[in-house]
Structure 1
């Protein structure tokens, strides 16, 4: 008797991917001056991956503004401190993106006190209980701690054209560790992007060597007498910081969210509405890049058709950045509008 193939759930780290789209295509706007580069970049990358991964279900996890990191900041007030705010037109594009997500038929999850990767972790745990494979699409390597036989991570590297797939075997090939050691690795080496301190003076190579020998953070500290003096002194001084860093970096998989497979079903969408919205946003090249299940016969138009979009000044970050070599049919992301 043939074994049924697992269903697949793709979960997109929404703000993480949108952030990359915004800085990859800062000049893109509609003819009326509505900035849309982040929305276009997000949609282009997401659609390309959806076509390749062919998930049965898709959801988007989002960082709820201001309240998503509240619990971690209570644990460590310096968590994610010092980050520069994004330019104003980054935020004005978010409602447009949310409208497009609705048209794609991809439900969006956001919660107080839980970050997007916590939500991704929670949904992946729930999916595993139903024997569903989860594909996490993100630029945040915190998700690597979730890897197992049911969970893969598709990590966006530089731009959109370089995406690294992680599963248990590829994780071990890269780090020489098991995925369940990733959290202890981060506890030792820290994470400057999130302002997680780790153990001062301990870098990734040293942390990996320690975990290869002693397996866990607890194992490292139980065997301190075996460690050479200079490193032992750093570990002793940074013990409290290491364990605090581990708790801050740990993804919480208890978020109060429901795995609503019916809402995530990729076949449940209004294709005519989706294509009409893409035309109004002047994303004509994306019409050619849509997966088959999103296609429908609709009249083409070069006008906005009265779409109500908030107009704001488009701030140029780097006019030379583009999506890279991502395959988008007739897309020409170097132009300023009319995508």
Structure 2
């Protein structure tokens, strides 16, 4: 029997969401030798390589939020009003992110006054109508409304390459409602990340229960008298207009003039990694470990190997010298590994950190307080003496810790 041909899949990436996640997941101390910050560029590059290596896409489109205000701001001036200004270190990297996409041979798209979600929704809808399998990659859960027979959402989680795939069944399992009811769901419960108000006092469980009983936000208001709780009925009535507004804000526009035809895009398949171009841009940003990964991919070795975003153990010591804490962050993110700490012994405001890399190998590097906190957020285990006194413990205790001070008393 001849081997089956893998399904050709279109990957649709929310560049803005993924870039922010990369920036906040990795230490701000990742930078070039001349001090230019590259943590967002490094993490974003890891994501792109993961998609190429593990999923072999037929085509990839990366959508970006426009800098201008969107049509949602016109309807509700509080939309995303609570969000802080883009961090300066991320702003410095932002204009270089589309260059990474270009180097990979992917398509960049931005369309004012729409958001990246709307672009992805339009393309995903085009794909579904033509029976093309599409995967939307994002950190925004409101995109789950797109999930269907031909569309899945790959939602990023902890770190930069931890993902969960949402199919229609997975959405129902997680939220108790069908994907197409996600805007109704947000209409009731709101969305703090986008400053969508919803109905005060209505949380996820109540929103899901209402939709399970009535089938839509509009049906709830058509049959409001059937709600047994007088208090809940009064609350829903008082905030009816706000609920309807919230649903509209959460509903994606599916008619964005994208200027791109998915059928023509898929006709260009199969995708081939332009290794020389990607190597050149990685070399520019001094990503030595990623250059090696590109060479492995080009040689066809990484596709057959076990998927990983962590460089081979034997390469790590040199990479720590070349790239500082970046490889340590990658190791922490990918493995159930341990992080150790001690103050630098020369009186400087630095931390000496070590990451267990398997076998008898532990890798050490120096970093400042910002870098330490970045590694701390990724650590699955922490090993040290009087761990409760570690910087960061009070705000975010380690998931698991081995404390030699406690062990000495056992």
* 1:333 to 1:118, Cα distance in 2 relative to 1, 3 A: farther
**Residue aligned with 1:196, SS:** coil
Q: What runs of 5+ residues in structure 2 fail to find an aligned partner?
A: 301-324, 336-356, 358-362, 372-410
**Residue aligned with 1:325, SS:** helix
* 1:277 to 1:285, Cα distance in 2 relative to 1, 3 A: same
Q: Report the equivalent of 1:91.
A: 91
**1:30, 1:276 → 2: CA distance?**
15
Where has structure 1 moved over 6 Å in runs of 4 or more? Answer: 332-337
**Contact 1:143/1:153, CA 8 A, preserved across alignment:** yes
Query: Residues 227-250 of structure 1, C-alpha deviation per residue, up to 9 Å, x if partnerless?
Result: 110100110011101111111110
| Higher radius of gyration, 1 or 2 | 2
User: What displacement does 1:216 show?
Assistant: 0.8
**Residue aligned with 2:11, SS:** strand
User: What displacement does 1:267 show?
Assistant: 2.8
User: What displacement does 1:169 show?
Assistant: 0.8
**1:333, 1:192 → 2: CA distance?**
39
**1:6, 1:126 → 2: CA distance?**
17
What value does the CA root-mean-square deviation take over the aligned residues? 2.9
- Aligned pair partner of 1:325 in 329, 333, 337: 333
Q: 1:84-163 residue pairs with structure 2 within 5 A?
A: 84-163=84-163
**Contact 2:19/2:40, CA 8 A, preserved across alignment:** yes
**1:333, 1:45 → 2: CA distance?**
25
- Aligned pair partner of 1:55 in 28, 44, 57: 57
User: What displacement does 1:47 show?
Assistant: 1.5
Q: Report the equivalent of 1:176.
A: 176
TM-score normalised over the length of structure 1: 0.83
**Contact 2:61/2:106, CA 8 A, preserved across alignment:** yes
In the alignment, structure 1 residue 215 sits paired with structure 2 residue 179: no
**Contact 1:12/1:137, CA 8 A, preserved across alignment:** yes
**1:215, 1:334 → 2: CA distance?**
55
**1:107, 1:161 → 2: CA distance?**
21
Q: Report the equivalent of 2:287.
A: 283
Q: What runs of 5+ residues in structure 1 fail to find an aligned partner?
A: 297-317
* 1:159 to 1:333, Cα distance in 2 relative to 1, 3 A: farther
Q: Report the equivalent of 1:246.
A: 247
Q: Report the equivalent of 1:203.
A: 203
**Residue aligned with 1:58, SS:** strand
The farther-off stretch of 12-21 and 49-58 is 49-58
TM-score normalised over the length of structure 2: 0.70
**Residue aligned with 2:136, SS:** strand
Query: Residues 40-60 of structure 1, C-alpha deviation per residue, up to 9 Å, x if partnerless?
Result: 001112311332222111110
